[in-house]
Amino acid sequence: MDPLPPVDSAVAKIAGAGVTLPDGRLQITAYGDSPELSRQLLALIRDGHKRAGASLLWSYEADAEPLPMVGDIQIVVDHRHEPSIVTRVTMVEVKVFRDVSGEYAAIEGEGDGSLEYWRRTHWDFFSRECARLAREPRQDMPVVCCVFEVLNVLPEQARP
């Protein structure tokens, strides 16, 4: 996956769309590891179904990125790295994969919202991420579980 755009660049694009960001630490984030998955996950956020995301703690460590914190303002970019949604982090927990709850899976809002669906699809996603990190996926791999509220949905552009 390509590096995410600099915060300043994303902020300028958002300002150009007439959106004023609230105070808070700014982060750039993305969902999915392919254009199709990014489109699907962003659509779930825009439609109000998805209000959480999960990442590997190992990815943050390998990429020297700070963990999200409650109150962070996240500029979510699409697969082309264009700002798409602005969120505020409302909860962050690090759990091992096998301890992620059905309640959290439902908040993530993917598929049928079940823990079984969450475990199957996230195992696949985290396995691809582990390959990037030269690690083996494990039931006790640390997962950063992040709940958010949507502050702004930017107008959709033509998205190839």
Spatial separation of the C-alpha atoms in residues 140 and 154, rounded to whole Å: 37
- Is 114 inside a domain boundary? yes
Phi then psi for residue 129, to 5 deg, are -65, -40
- Is 158 inside a domain boundary? no
- Kindly give, in sequence order, each residue whose CB lies less than 8 Å from that of residue 18, ignoring residues fewer than 6 positions away: none
User: The domain that contains 105 carries what CATH number?
Assistant: 3.10.400.10
pLDDT digits (tens, 9 = 90+) for 32-71: 999 999 999 999 999 999 999 999 999 999 999 999 999 9
Spatial separation of the C-alpha atoms in residues 139 and 147, rounded to whole Å: 22
Tokens standing for 39? Answer: 């489109």
Nearest to 68 by CA among 55, 49, 81: 55
- Which structural domain range is residue 41 located in? 7-153
- Is 2 inside a domain boundary? no
pLDDT digits (tens, 9 = 90+) for 1-10: 578 888 999 9
Q: What is the pTM of this model?
A: 0.91
- Is 26 inside a domain boundary? yes
As for how many domains the chain has, the answer is 1
Task: Provide the pLDDT for residue 1.
Answer: 55
